[in-house]
Amino acid sequence: MNKKISIRLRISIMVIVLLTICCCILTFMINFSAMKMVDTIEMQELSPASTQNNIVSTNSIQLTKPSSAIDFVRKDFRIESGLFMIIVVISGGLITYYLIGKTLKPIAILNDQMKKISVLNLNENIDIPNSNDEVADLSQTFNDMTNKLHNSFETQKRFSTSCAHELRTPLAIIQTKIDIFYKKSNPTINECTTLIDNVAKQNGRLTNIVLNLLDMTNMQTVNQKEEVDLNFLLDEVCYELQDIADKKNISLNINGDDITILGNFDLLHRAFYNLVENAIKYNNNDGIVNIIVQKQNNKAIIKIIDNGIGINKKDFSQIFEPFFRSDKVKINNEGIGLGLSITKSIIDRHFGFISVYKLDNDDTCFEVTLDIETFI
């Protein structure tokens, strides 16, 4: 098992090695320069004695003694420079180790705080230092990540709870009807027919829930590189929903630019079908549904506006979650709360954005933004 070496120690070792190499090179250059200078001075002292008619004087013989002294000085200089180099390397290494420890201290603190974060406290953020450096950026990034994970876990928890509730309700109704039917000694044909109708109705509801859930998981594998004419698609959606609109005397209007994008026609058809159908279903009699297509900065913006029962502002943040239904929809007991969630999944799959808001005249507007040139 390999022994763990801290970043602090690794950086210190690298700095010490680099410092040693630099000191060795510097010491060598200083010694080389100093020895060269000594040789030059020695040559200058010897040159006068050899220029007097080749006569060797007693002074020239005496110069051999200073030569041995110079050799001693050279040796002493080399030893001292080597010792100084070692002292510089050791002291520099210790100072480096200390300073790196001080520098890495915020990372150690950050590591300790990260270890305290678990699945149970993902909503708790770690402290962000005021250093305005990479550690602060890393802390902010970690907080953003944990917040996203917390939201994902909460969404998954709500989804599981809602899914279990939606599946349990029709099953409970079927079981109740069967239990009541078994208590009857001689059921009539009408009672048998009623039981079958109720079971068939609840079975249809279960089937619809399961199919919608499967659609949400299977849309990842479809082709999304088709050319889609948005005006043609919206015309087709309105044509298919015209009968439902006529029953409530609702007017469907399409206005705007001719725009073509890359995507999946069937998925986008379903997304806008859900939005227009909701605008009709939750509209008032003699109401209006306006569909506006606009081009802005290489974006296709589609607005679906209705003057129906509206949506409470408190529901805006949850309206695209699976199985969520606003209070006004629950009163009518309509839908299972998957339509808008599927719509958002389709728009997200096309790298788009969907939002809902109120207009000044209290009309409800669903706005979809898509890239005109989307290559997936």
**Between β-strands 226-229 and 260-263, what pairing exists: parallel, antiparallel or unpaired?**
antiparallel
Of 83, 81, 98, 82, the closest CA to residue 15 belongs to: 98
Sequence ranges of the domains in the chain: 7-46+63-115, 146-219, 225-371
Q: What is the DSSP string of 248-276?
A: TT-EEEEEE---EEEE-HHHHHHHHHHHH
- Both tokens of 133, joined, read 């450096």
Specify the pLDDT at position 373.
66
Torsion of CA 236, 305, 368, 141, to 10 degrees: -160
Specify the pLDDT at position 236.
92
Confirm if 122 and 149 have CB atoms less than 8 A apart.
Answer: yes
- Both tokens of 234, joined, read 């919206």
Specify the pLDDT at position 64.
47
The DSSP output letter for 37 is H
- Both tokens of 284, joined, read 């008032």
Q: What is the DSSP string of 106-119?
A: HHHHHHHHHHT--G
CA geometry: angle 49, 44, 81, nearest 5 deg: 135
Has this prediction a pTM greater than 0.75? no
Over its C-alpha atoms, the chain yields an Rg (Å, rounded) of 42
Domain 146-219 has CATH 1.10.287.130: yes
Q: Provide block-wise average pLDDT over 10 residues at a time, the chain (376 residues).
A: 72 87 87 78 59 47 56 78 86 87 83 83 82 84 88 76 73 85 83 87 81 68 76 92 90 89 87 91 89 90 88 79 68 65 86 89 90 62
Calpha distance 334→282 (Å, rounded): 10
Specify the pLDDT at position 354.
93
Specify the pLDDT at position 224.
65
Specify the pLDDT at position 222.
59
Confirm if 269 and 237 have CB atoms less than 8 A apart.
Answer: yes
- Both tokens of 292, joined, read 């506006």
Tell how far CA 28 is from the center of its chain: 54
CATH of span 225-371: 3.30.565.10
Calpha distance 223→235 (Å, rounded): 22
Residue 132 contacts by C-beta under 8 Å, 6 or more apart in sequence?
none
Angle at which helices 134-183 and 189-218 pack, to 10 degrees?
A: 160
H helical segments located in the chain: 7-46, 58-62, 64-115, 134-183, 189-218, 230-247, 265-281, 327-332, 339-349
E strand or H helix that includes residue 299: strand 299-306
- What b/e readout covers 136-148, taking b as 16+ CB neighbours within 10 angstroms? eebbeebbeebee
Of 235, 216, 222, the closest CA to residue 302 belongs to: 235
Specify the pLDDT at position 79.
84
Q: How far is CA 178 from CA 94, 95, 186, 206, in A?
A: 83, 83, 14, 17
